[in-house]
Structure 1
């Protein structure tokens, strides 16, 4: 059983790669929330658990994180790309 953690910083267009963004700028969205990320993860086809009390190590304020369960068939990069693409569709 593989668990992947998705921090909002990984999808945030306001962050640089060195600050924690993991997707390209054309896939990134501004100020993603854990609720949006969890919804996108579920639409991609995986189970998502929101942990609101967690803080990304490079941030001062806690935005939480999303734990993706049973993502055995996808790499983290593929998962982040699919979630980011779906989040862009949600915001349009």
Structure 2
């Protein structure tokens, strides 16, 4: 089920867990966001986070069957390894979980799949807000 860069899954349980909700600007701190809203990105997916971690040259693996404990509808997470067995860092720019979140949140909006989706998404966000207001008037 999980996919990883190197193909080996020996100590994957020791790797850090990265849920998309950690860097989602649409969520509150209470709902699970872990970085500042101004630095967070809008609705990241676990696939985008995986691609960003791969881009940062970090060993990572997708666990698509796992869900976030506070919101079981949020499916998927990424396991990331920051340090080698000897304790040296894979990427010297990223030494902590928090730095990883900030780097990934910066990269996700520039993700190739996201730049294509951006135009239709902005048109569709205007539509539901109007229908949402109409729904409140009917009640």
Q: Same fold (TM over 0.5)?
A: yes
- Quote the residue 2:28 is aligned against: 16
- Quote the residue 1:89 is aligned against: 110
Within the candidate set 92, 96, 110, 1:75 is matched to 96
Q: Which has the higher contact order (CA 8 A, sep 6+)?
A: 1
Q: Relative to structure 1, is the Cα distance of residues 16 and 9 closer, same or farther in structure 2, using a 3 angstrom cutoff?
A: same
1:19 positional shift = 1.2
Deviation beyond 6 Å, 4+ runs, structure 1: none
1:62 positional shift = 3.8
The structure with the largest helix share of the pair is: 2
Q: Which one has a bigger Cα radius of gyration?
A: 2
Instruction: Please give the TM-score of this superposition, normalised by the length of structure 1.
Output: 0.87
- Quote the residue 2:42 is aligned against: 30
Q: Unaligned regions of 5+ residues in structure 1, if any?
A: none
> Which secondary structure does the structure 2 equivalent of 1:53 belong to?
strand
Say whether the 8 Å CA contact 1:8–1:63 is kept in structure 2: no
Q: Which moved more, 1:22-31 or 1:5-14?
A: 22-31
- Quote the residue 1:63 is aligned against: 75
Q: Unaligned regions of 5+ residues in structure 2, if any?
A: 1-10, 84-88, 90-94, 116-139
Count residues in correspondence: 91
Instruction: Please give the TM-score of this superposition, normalised by the length of structure 2.
Output: 0.60
Aligned alpha-carbon RMSD (Å): 1.6
1:67 positional shift = 0.3
